[in-house]
Structure 1
Amino acid sequence: MDFTIRMYTELLQAMQAAGYSFSTLEGFLRNPTPNTLILRHDVDAMPQNSLAFAQIQHSQNIRGVYYFRATSGSWNDRIIRQIADMGHEVGYHYECLTTCKGNKELAILDFKKNLTALRRLAPVSTICMHGSPMSKYDSKDLWKTYSYSDFDIVGEPYLDVDFSKVAYLTDTGRRWDGHKVSVRDKVDAGFNHPFRSTADLIAGLKNKQLSSQVMFTFHPQRWNNNPIYWLQELVFQKTKNVVKQYFYVK
């Protein structure tokens, strides 16, 4: 069964067996070494699932980066501190233009307020846009007017990773070819891949089909051992994919 904690653990094992090292986003931007994976986690909801991912990684001496939204369904002080204490990178999953309805002056104030609050819990050196697929606003457009470097931010993956060199794989849509139904969680990439399921991806790792540098994006709320949550997420994502594909994907 796909998108379970067991399958996620098997995927991590396949990554290690393929000889990759692991890096946080900040670490990679500062030193983009070959044969490196960036494990990015967008904590859109159910932060306890992200804590479980962080604990599994920590038990295997793996570090990742976890991006928290400034919403009650994502932000959890205790979990943010626990994840940071394990050595993982913590970042801000901003969506300010959506929450401020396109008003950039209000959005940058909202960004500063939430970033300051997050930094009270953990060091924050990178940020990452939350796609907000049902919104007409793209929060990355905030940086057409302002500069995140003014806030001591090292980078933003959609703006600072060279995806002509770094392959991008995301579980958006609860599938590994989710870029086909994604509104904003996609990049102009120089790599194509044949993977749909996690089993396909594991086979690809065993067969050396992945490139030297890869960013993986996980949404941990999609990965569940509990059959009720697992089924709810399956139905929700299938419905959401249809809506996005017909009304939002360009």
Structure 2
Amino acid sequence: MDFTFKKYKELIQALKDNGYTFQTFEDFIKKPNDKVVVLRHDVDRRSKHSLDQGRDEVEVGAVGSYFFRIVPESNQPDVMNKIVDMGHELAYHYEDLGMARGNYEKAYELYKKNLTYFRKFYPVSTICMHGSPANSIDNRDIWKKYNYRDHDIIGEPYFDVDYDEVFYITDAGRMWNNRKVSVRDKVTTKFNFPLKTTDDIIKWIKSGELPNKLIINTHPHNWSNFGLLWVWILVWQSIKNLVKKVLILIKGQKSITVSDYKKTN
């Protein structure tokens, strides 16, 4: 079955078996390996599911980057401590502009406060926006007024990666690279590999046709062991995807590229 922890482990094992090395996002930004994958995790909710993915990565010999939100369903100190103890990167999944309802000054103060909080667990040097699909505010817009590098942040995946060099794969909406159900988690890229299932990704990996640099973004709440919870996640996410399709049609969100923000960052 797809979107199980067992299937996730098969995915990262296939990456290793086919010559990919693993780097955290912060290490990738500093100096990327020649053939490398960044295992990025947006921990939106069901925070404990990140531990299952983290353990699978350790068993395979991989490392991941875990971006935690400030909200209680993500921000669980015991989970974050365990992620760090496993050797993974902990980072901030920010949504301050949305929380401040578009008030830039208030959002920036929230951002600084929350960044300081997460640095109690790990020396956070990377951040990533939370898409907040139901919110009309794009959390990345805060960087039109401020500069995240002022606080020793070295990278943000939507601004600091050339996606014509790095193939980006995301499970947003519990589907792979489906732009119809992804409000903001999408990038402008020249790559076009059709993906419907995790097995499709594994086949592409084994074919040797994928680029040498990958970022795979998973949301731990999309993954579970097969059972009642797996069925519930499937049904609930299917309903959410219908809503997101409508939002995308109404609002017409487009991909954001580095050039949109280069004047400030």
TM-score (norm 1): 0.97
Which string of whole-angstrom CA distances, capped at 9 and with x for unpartnered residues, describes residues 125-156 of structure 1? Answer: 10000000111101111011001111111110
Q: Deviations over 1:141-193 (max 9, x none)?
A: 10110011111111100010111110100001111132232110000112111
- Aligned twin of 1:47: 47
In structure 1, the residue matched to 2:148 is 148
Partner AA of 1:102 in structure 2: G
In structure 2, what is the Cα distance between the partners aligned to 1:17 and 1:226? 25
Aligned to 1:65: 65
Q: Write the distance in 1 (CA, Å) between the matches of 2:180 and 2:208.
A: 24
Distance 1:29 1:121 in 2: 21
Does the 8 A contact of 1:170 with 1:179 survive in 2? no
107-116 or 54-63, larger mean C-alpha shift: 54-63
CA–CA separation in structure 2 for the residues paired with 1:186 and 1:235: 23
Unaligned runs of at least 5 residues, structure 2: 253-265
Residue by residue over 1:196-225, the C-alpha shift from the partner in whole angstroms, topping out at 9 and shown as x without a partner, is 101111111111231111100000111111
Q: Which amino acid aligns with 2:104?
A: K
TM-score (normalised: structure 2): 0.92
SS of 1:121 mapped into structure 2: coil
What is the deviation of 1:226? 4.6
1:27 aligned onto 2:27: yes
SS of the aligned residue for 1:158 comes to coil
- Contact 1:133/1:248 (8 A) holds in 2: no
Deviation at 1:245, TM superposition (A): 1.1
Q: CA deviation at 1:60?
A: 2.3
Which amino acid counterpart does residue 93 of structure 2 have in structure 1? H
Aligned to 1:209: 209
Q: In the alignment, what sits opposite 2:262?
A: none
1:107-186 correspondence to structure 2 within 5 Å:
107-186=107-186
CA contact (8 A) 2:69 2:92 kept: yes
Amino acid at match of 1:176: W
Which shifted more, 53-62 or 158-167?
53-62
Matched residue SS, 2:169: strand
One-letter amino acid of the counterpart of residue 229, structure 1: L
Which segments of 5 or more consecutive residues in structure 1 lack a partner in the other structure?
none
What is residue 93 of structure 2 aligned with on the other side?
Answer: 93
Identity across aligned pairs (percent)? 45
Q: Secondary structure at the match of 1:190?
A: coil
Q: Write the letter of the residue equivalent to 1:203.
A: K
Corresponding residue for 1:223? 223
> What is the identity, as a one-letter code, of the residue corresponding to 2:149?
S
- 1:246 positional shift: 2.0
Q: Residue 87 of structure 1 aligns to a residue in which SS?
A: coil
Q: Which amino acid aligns with 2:169?
A: L
Q: 2: CA distance between counterparts of 1:8 and 1:123?
A: 27
1:239 aligns to what? 239
Mapped contact 2:12–2:60 kept (Cα < 8 A): no
Amino acid at match of 2:106: L
Distance 1:95 1:48 in 2: 21
Match of 2:261 in 1: none
CA–CA distance in structure 1, aligned partners of residues 123 and 228 of structure 2: 35
Instruction: Work out the CA distance in 1 between the residues paired with 2:248 and 2:134.
Output: 7
The Cα shift of 1:34 comes to 2.1
**Cα distance in 1, alignment partners of residues 144 and 10 from structure 2:** 41
In the alignment, the residues of structure 2 paired with residue 67 and residue 243 of structure 1 have an alpha-carbon distance, to the nearest angstrom, of 25
